[in-house]
């Protein structure tokens, strides 16, 4: 099943694009962070949990969504993906290098559609991951031809 990760800097329009794809009938997975924030607000708690807890819950949900969508043969579009979750966890509490490399290699096989809001910005968490793993340009290498849905 083709999975496409829609990613980009804050305000680049990822959520809007994924919502339009959902309205057009495509299978979509919305941003885990927004769901977590909505749930905590509904329980009367702080908008965001402690950063490390927040990052780990985002990653847990993103991995679950990624695997759950493997059951379908249809295109699935993700509003952000596992890689951003990995980067957030690594930023809040650096992962051992072997664990980080294993996670990155397990979840970088999906094409990405990269929406830019600023030049040279993909995810604010990438600089730390790039410095720790040498993964510079990982998102750009997975972009392929922006806008292409045919791979």
Q: How many domains does the chain have?
A: 1
3 is a domain residue:
no
- Residue 111: per-residue pLDDT: 66
Domain assignment present for residue 5? The answer is no
Asked if residue 101 is part of any domain, the answer here is yes
**Any idea what DSSP says for residue 114?**
E
How far is residue 25's CA from residue 62's CA, in Å, rounded to a whole number? 21
- Give the relative orientation of helices 126-133 and 82-92 as an angle to the nearest 10 degrees: 80
Query: How high is the mean pLDDT in each 10-residue block of the chain (151 residues)?
Result: 79 86 91 90 83 94 89 82 90 91 82 53 43 40 36 36
Range of the domain at 90: 10-143
Q: What is the pLDDT, as a whole number, of residue 149?
A: 40
Indicate whether 111 belongs to any domain: yes
Residue 82 lies in a domain: yes
What is the reported pLDDT for 56?
95
Residue 2 belongs to some domain of the structure = no
- Rounded CA gap, 142 and 138, in Å? 7
Residue in 88, 75, 93 with CA at minimum distance from that of residue 28 = 75
Task: Please tell me the pTM assigned to this model.
Answer: 0.71
- What does the radius of gyration of the chain's CA atoms come to, in whole angstroms? 15
Q: Are 111 and 142 in contact (CB under 8 A)?
A: yes
Start-to-end Cα distance in the chain: 12
Residue in 55, 37, 57 with CA at minimum distance from that of residue 46: 37
């Amino acid at each position: 099943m083709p999975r496409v990760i829609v990613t980009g800097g804050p305000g680049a329009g990822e959520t809007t694009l994924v919502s339009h794809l959902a309205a057009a009938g495509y299978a979509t997975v919305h941003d885990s962070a927004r769901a977590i924030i909505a749930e905590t607000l509904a329980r009367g708690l702080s908008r965001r949990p402690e950063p490390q807890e927040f990052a780990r819950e985002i990653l847990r949900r993103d991995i679950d969504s990624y695997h759950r969508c493997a059951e379908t043969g249809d295109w699935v579009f993700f509003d952000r993906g596992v890689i951003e979750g990995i980067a957030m966890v690594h930023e809040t509490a650096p992962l051992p290098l072997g664990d980080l490399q294993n996670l990155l290699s397990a979840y970088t096989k999906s094409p990405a559609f990269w929406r830019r809001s600023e030049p040279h910005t993909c995810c604010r968490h990438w600089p730390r991951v790039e410095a720790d793993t040498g993964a510079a340009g990982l998102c750009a290498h997975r972009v392929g031809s922006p806008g292409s849905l045919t791979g």
